Chain A
Amino acid sequence: MNTKKIGKIIGDFALPIMLVALIVFFSLMSPAFLTPLNLKNILVQNVHVAVCACAVMIIMISGGCDLSIGYQMSVAAVLVTKLISVNGWPPYLAIILGIALCSLLGTFNGYMGIKLKSSTMIITLGTMAIFQGISYLISGSKTFHNLPDSFMFLGQGTVFGFIPVSVLIMIVIVVLVGFVMGKTAIGRKVYAAGDNPEAARLAGLNVSRIKILSFTVAGVLVGISAILLAARSGSADSGTGVGIEFTGITACVLSGVALKGGEGTLWKVIVAVFVLGVLANGMQLINLGTYPQFIAKGVIMLGSLYLTSRNAQ
């Protein structure tokens, strides 16, 4: 085996290696790290991040970027929890409405991207402000508690007494998204539209529709993610989910999803989510608080860009 091949294998498995290295490092640094309870915590705390990262990946592969995801989550979370706790709606109905609304917000983003023929990064910067306003209008800056057990079950319940429901939901979604993106014709078309929109159009693909659809599907995932997060924390306010676009995009960039679209592998994105999750958890345990974590996340983002640019040469 030549060095080039070895390099490629290391490149493919850089993330799992990084994850293992972080786990070993924090295990040595803190006795509280490698315990079943803490590992379960890491898993459960990152369920909504992983689902969101799926959404970010789909959008990025289609050649877009969505900065408004955090406030989409915020809108869905306050709407659903308000309908349940204040207006007394049955949870399932509120959940369906929340997810539907999120898919609508996503579709709006995608539609604007096509209509205004502008970068979706800037467009979603605009819609982010709109969604923020909508969220605060719904919540009136209040926090919604008093959620029924049936709702909290989604975030805190277990099946067979030990498998968290939220983790099961995440696995189902990841498998589904991975399957659709990797194995189906529609997934292939999303890659094509992101890789080279003009070639895709001339090859007979409806690029506009594919791009908007990617945002719609991502919206559905963001809605689900919002509900998982609200159900886990047992409450929601307009700050719920805000900032998750950063974690999602960092995970995608770290895993090698191309910024220009057309490239990306789901399993790597999920591993990257847990690299970031383990890092946050471990830093907490060795008494490095929230602020150093921000710095660490930023450094990782830039570091992975450096590696990508070096690989490209």
Chain B
Amino acid sequence: MNDMSAPVALTKKDFESNQDVRWCPGCGDYAVLAQIQKLLPTLGIPRENFAFISGIGCSSRFPYYMDTYGMHSIHGRAPAIASGLKLARPELSVWVVTGDGDALAIGGNHFIHAMRRNVDLKVILLNNRIYGLTKGQYSPTSEMGKKTKSTPLGSIDRPFSPVALALGAGATFVARSVDTDLPHLASVLARAAAHKGTAFVEILQNCIVFNDGAHNALTEKATRDDARLMLEHGKPLVFGKNPDQGIRLAGMEPEVVTLGDGVASEAELVVHDEHAMHSGLAFFLSQFESPELPVPLGVFRAVRQPTCDELNAQLHENTREAKGRGRLADLLHGGDIWTIG
């Protein structure tokens, strides 16, 4: 255990636990762990005020590797546990680390309600589009036709878009990044940490054993610039190697256009607005799928709304102002009482 110390500048090292990391060599989870360990010392929060809560799955081993408070709980329930913790202890910085199976299959209900309530949690979903810990079954984000051990003839289930699901549930901060683009991952995580309210980050992550290369188009140098759309607030939607491709609206449909030479101009393109109170634009972007459209990375939505924990504190304060601090003797003597003798 560590020394009790006055606030000194923390480093990445301070957030590394003494446990051996047991992910497969080459797993994308390593990069996410390293980025978060690098980010936390920059936030100005004492180390003891961080709590990492996870469920079950490869990604859920995460808390063991962080030298913070942490709980490796049960499958899918981390958002519910984290919500209770945050409501009981609003001063803590509470993080949930989850996976596509944990958050979207067994824990789908808790996931959407955490988004809906806007509890001040950071929810990091490592999406490798496969079940790793149970050795290779299709997940709620596996593409249709995916052949796995439980779908030898190909999956017939349609996949979820985690970003669309979070937006549909009313999330106030929604972002997406990939495990191999470290500067982008770092900046998205920093934005999530700074957000007040439920901050949801989907990280496209490679499972080297059971689904290797699932995100290759987005990560390989040769293809990535044409396959992804880097979102920037206030900027038109432009992508491509050069970059000379843009997204224009054709009615309610997105249309890819080539810029320049009188074909299309930047002025015609959709401009990203992550602060729009209406989540329509964010939802529109969440529908972009490869190969027809570039996959958006970055912040889809970031709006400030009262958080569940703030509102809860407010209710208590208002009630105490109106009624005064409750006294047990008065409470017991409430209602109709009568005296005998």
Is chain B found bound to chain A in the same assembly?
A: no
A→B interface (CB under 8 Å):
none
